[in-house]
Each structure stands twice: as structure tokens, then as C-alpha cells.
Structure 1
């Protein structure tokens, strides 16, 4: 998640640079657009300009490059910058600060900076983790693992280390493991729901629907553990007979 935050920051810097010097970007984009339009036998022209226009933009311009730059390219860049600022605003920094508990980043941070980074998510999530931070930091520093070994550690793998002696850290790690970096998982669930809940399955219960959707989204896990699913889950469902009226 920290890498994602740094990547978003770099994207915002590039967009701000393009916004500050829009001529370079607009000329390149319009040149590509003209090449595509020429292949499709389409002529790029400026819409008819009027003194009073309410249904579309009507910026003053001397040529087509300036018109499309002011009416299309610059507003689009402003919209992207605004959306990124809203999505990754200071209000969402506690979620990113939770990533500092991962050993890969924690071992590269001093204990003072670690406490400073923890202040934001402690207040936001109402966690009292101050007493465990020093112990959690020393635990991974003493392990002296390489960066490659630390990079292979998933967040869920840290639960066992924090299971007994670090209850507050474990709670923070659970919160971190449930925060997605993107909306891809949510979008997958929506598309899966459309495939699972068809007209022929419109009367199924919520619990069954949720189970089928999870199996569809995580189909790779279902395939890898197909033997366990067949022996355990199917046997459990088969042990509960349903009373069906067959007329």
C-alpha cells in the first residue's frame, strides 16, 4: 500500500507538470488524433462557435489546437488531478499508515518515526498500540531478515507472530488485510453477481448467494483445494436433508 501511495504521488506530479505546460501534451495528443482520423477518413474540425453557448464549452481560440486544448485536454487533466486528490486525501492517510507495521518498511524506520506514523491510525481506528510498538519493532529487527525474505511475507502471515503477545498489533493487521488498494475486488463481485444470480436462481437465500459468489470470485482457491471442498463442505451440506415438495 505504501508503494501504491508513492506511485500515485508520482502520477500526480506528472499530471501537474502537464497542466503547467499543456501545449506540449496537447500537440502530441492532437497529432495522434489526426493520424487516426486520417486513417478513418475523418476530418477534425472545430464546432460552430456562437456568442452565447450554454450546452457546451465555447472558449475563445485562434486555431483548432488552442480550442481543443482549452475545451477538452485541460479540463480532463484538472478532473484527473481533482479525483486523485479526493481519493488519496489526508483523510485516507491512516489506512496507508497501517502499512508501516509490515516488517519490510518497519525495519527501515526508526522507532521515533514509527510512533509518529502510528498516531494517525491509532486515533482514527481507536487503537492503543503504543505499548506494543517497541516490542514489535525489536522483534523484526532481531530476526535480521533480508529484503527479499521480508518482501515475501504477506500480511496474513504476520497474524501468527502477533497472535499472543501483540493483540493490538494483530487487530491493526486485520484491519490492514481488509483494505483493498483498488476497487478491482468490488467490481469483480458486481460482475460475478450478475453471472450467479440469474432468472433461474432468483429465489436463493442471501447466505447461499454469498457463498456462490465467493466461490466464483476465488475460483483459483476452489480449484487448488477441490479435494478438501469435496470431502468437507459437500458432506456437510449433504448431511442436512431438505424437504422438497415434489408434485
Structure 2
């Protein structure tokens, strides 16, 4: 990071030097030893600790990504899906089925899953499609039940903790000291609105406000 390390040195203790003494070299040696001790202490207690934590975090992250790819890799895009032969497709479907055999009220059937993917290989357009686009294609066709379940799992599984970190970042902006008495229900609603801002921008707020006002209007009869 091009940051020069600077270590604070203790105040030098001055003592009276007699006319026949010359200890400049001794003081320089002591100061050099103290500087080296401070640098070594920083290296051992802080620098190496941060490096170990970063390496462990990156290693764990890449291991999770490799595990995720080994299960869902054949569903990432249309090119990977179409490149599989029957044997490879069967192996990928078997691994997925063993990992996520009970995902909802209707389980993923292995034979049906393989059959649907074979049909999907032939019906997908001849262009590179991402997982989102394939899922939209499957939902529009409405005849790939097991494939739809597989893509819903793929698109909702949290590979990292980035989503949780974004939630806490938004929480810091909302839950400040001026809003310390905010109820949990209102806080959850505001956090959801901030996180899903793209979806919120496409909602007609006038209709929601009118609907809310009509349900909560006070109808009082005055005689």
C-alpha cells in the first residue's frame, strides 16, 4: 500500500555525561535494538495475525465456491448444459439429487430431472444464456417442474455473506441514535425497502397509499 511504517520511540532518558565518557555508540545500539524489537512485535502480534486471518477467510471462501460449483456448475449457463452428454448429465443430476433431495413439498425426481434437462438441451436457443435467462425460459414454458426447482435453489443459495453484510450496512443507516425507539416491525419494513430499492422503484406508491388510506380511514358519525 506504499505506506511507510513508523514506530513511536520512547523518550530518550538523558543523563549527565562526564568529560571523560563517550557513549554515543552505546546509545545508538540501544535505540536500534529498541526499534527492531518494536518492529518485530508489530510483525508478530498484528501483521502476521491479519495475514493469517485473510488467508483463512479467502481459503474458506474459495472452498465454498468450489463446493457450490461442483453441485450447480452444469446449470450456470446454456453452454455448460449443452456440452454434457447423457452420462455426464446423469452424474451431475445424481449429485444434485443426493445433496438436495428434500427441498419442498414435492421432491426432485432424479429420472424426471434428467429427462427434463435432455429436453431442455434441445429446446434452448442457440445463444449463450445465463442462469437467470434459463430460469425465465423454464418458467415461461411451464413444463419443467424439477428443473424449475433446481434453478430456484441455485438462485437463492447464499454462497457468501455479502447479503448479510449489506443488510447490516443498511441497518447502520436506519437504526441511528435518533431512531433508537423504532419498533422491530417498522425497522424490518424500512430495511426491506432499502435493500429491495430496485423493486420498490417500479411500484406505484399512489395506489398503495390510496389503498392504505381507504382501509384506515376513520368513519365517525357526528350527530
When normalised by structure 1's length, the TM-score is 0.57
Candidates 59, 67, 72, aligned match of 1:93: 67
Indicate whether 1:229 and 2:196 are aligned.
no
Seen in structure 2, the aligned counterparts of structure 1 residues 202 and 121 have a Cα distance that, compared at 3 Å, is: farther
Indicate whether 1:46 and 2:20 are aligned.
no
Seen in structure 2, the aligned counterparts of structure 1 residues 110 and 95 have a Cα distance that, compared at 3 Å, is: same
Seen in structure 2, the aligned counterparts of structure 1 residues 108 and 119 have a Cα distance that, compared at 3 Å, is: same
Give the superposed CA RMSD: 4.1
Contact 1:98 1:118 in 2 (8 A): no
When normalised by structure 2's length, the TM-score is 0.62
Larger radius of gyration: 2
Structure 1 segments unaligned to the other structure (5+ residues):
1-31, 59-70
Contact 1:106 1:137 in 2 (8 A): no
Seen in structure 2, the aligned counterparts of structure 1 residues 143 and 176 have a Cα distance that, compared at 3 Å, is: closer
CA displacement at 1:106 relative to structure 2: 0.6
Deviations 1:140-173 (A, max 9, x none): 33434222xx14853652451463x222221121
Seen in structure 2, the aligned counterparts of structure 1 residues 90 and 214 have a Cα distance that, compared at 3 Å, is: closer
Seen in structure 2, the aligned counterparts of structure 1 residues 90 and 141 have a Cα distance that, compared at 3 Å, is: same
User: What is the distance in 1 between the residues matched to 2:182 and 2:217?
Assistant: 16
2:158 paired residue number: 180
Seen in structure 2, the aligned counterparts of structure 1 residues 201 and 81 have a Cα distance that, compared at 3 Å, is: closer
How many residues align? The count is: 186
Seen in structure 2, the aligned counterparts of structure 1 residues 213 and 189 have a Cα distance that, compared at 3 Å, is: same
Aligned-partner SS, 1:132: helix
User: What is the distance in 2 between the residues matched to 1:78 and 1:200?
Assistant: 38
Contact 1:122 1:129 in 2 (8 A): yes
